[in-house]
Structure 1
């Protein structure tokens, strides 16, 4: 059993993510279901992984990540303009709607409608938190929880 979070750890956490203005962006505590982060798999930013390293079960930590260290800066190239006619199948476009678009590679990409002006619809494909400083509060519940369960099963 690992006592502290390491570079290849899986970490079960509750987290709350707020923006600079204090507004809530996401919280696992609301739904009561913790999140499993896997360090080293590329799903977390290096800066977020760095904040988790060395933590133990029961630890809680609050920290902020600048846009470059969190969800990245907003990229103006990811803002696209469409004709309103292209939304016939999706219904009337409204500001704030999130719509799945099919990319050139066939994968779906979510886009947020930022503006509807006459026949023009502005869609933002940036991550919704891109360009924002985010504040995390993390509570460590378990380290390598599946491995511990597998080890316990194999002992008996």
Structure 2
């Protein structure tokens, strides 16, 4: 379930683009493009520059190699599986934190919050073979960093694990 969910989240987040005017849009699906169209970042600049698994990344900024921002780190919060059929099928309602990290910018119109809304539009209702009902649960803004802002968007879903 985690691998499938991570891959789907990453694919959806990579599809979010932003133009020079700061307007967000979804990258066209490669299947909808003609052979001469190029899916590179110059033609379709990604709104999110870096996507990875969470590993307390913002806590060690001075010690890590810098990553481009905006960045999204996906964290799977520990969760408990409940047996539907013991030894065969399990169900859970995991929480998934998206750590959305942007550069701090003193401005009247805080664009970070628009980005969070666009991320939600990309992800709300996402489902796969081993999960469904992916939707937002809560939000928090972490101001404890000098040069960045970390918004934590918590999502939940219904997850399935089939062993046989």
Q: Identify the TM-score tier after normalising by the shorter chain.
A: under 0.3
Higher-RCO chain (CA-CA 8 Å, sequence separation at least 6): 1
Which structure has the greater CA radius of gyration? 1
TM-score for both structures, normalised by structure 1: 0.24
With normalisation by structure 2, the TM-score equals 0.23
